[in-house]
Amino acid sequence: MKDVLNPSLSIIIPTYNHARFLRTALDSICAQTFNDWEAIIVNNFSEDDTVAVVKSYDDPRIRIVNYANHGVIAAARNHGLSLTQAPYVAFLDSDDCWYPEKLQRCFDKLAKGYDLVCHAEVWVGPGERRRTVYYGPDARATYESLLLDGNCISTSAVVVRRGWLERAKGFSIQLEFVTAEDYDLWLKMAHNGAKIAFVNEVLGEYLIHDDNQSRVALRNMQAVLAVFEHHRTALNGQTYARRLRRREAVIMYSGARALQDSGQYRQAWRYFFKAVVHYPWVLRFYAAMVFNAFGRRP
Q: Are the beta carbons of 44 and 67 closer than 8 angstroms? A: yes
Per CATH, the homologous superfamily of domain 9-212 is: Spore Coat Polysaccharide Biosynthesis Protein SpsA; Chain A (3.90.550.10)
What does the pLDDT look like over 216-255, one tens digit per residue? 778 899 999 999 999 998 887 778 999 999 999 999 999 9
Q: Say whether the peptide bond before residue 137 is cis (omega within 30 degrees of 0).
A: yes
Nearest alpha carbon to residue 119 among 111, 88, 132: 132
What does the pLDDT look like over 120-130, one tens digit per residue? 999 998 778 89
Confidence class for position 298, pLDDT limits 50, 70, 90: confident
Residues 6+ apart with CB under 8 A from 139: 145
Nearest alpha carbon to residue 209 among 127, 115, 89: 127
Task: Indicate the pTM of the whole model.
Answer: 0.93
What does the pLDDT look like over 102-153, one tens digit per residue? 999 999 999 999 999 999 999 998 778 899 999 999 999 999 999 999 999 9
Nearest alpha carbon to residue 40 among 3, 70, 73, 77: 77
What element of type H or E holds 37? strand 37-43
Residues 205, 100: Cα–Cα separation, whole Å: 12
What does the pLDDT look like over 200-211, one tens digit per residue? 999 999 998 765
CA-based end-to-end distance of the chain: 48
pLDDT given at position 210: 62
Domain borders along the chain are 9-212, 236-293
Neighbours of 78 (CB within 10 A): 22
What does the pLDDT look like over 42-74, one tens digit per residue? 999 999 999 999 999 989 999 999 999 998 999
Q: What is the DSSP track for 143-185?
A: HHHHHHH-----GGGEEEEHHHHHHTTSS---GGGTT-HHHHH
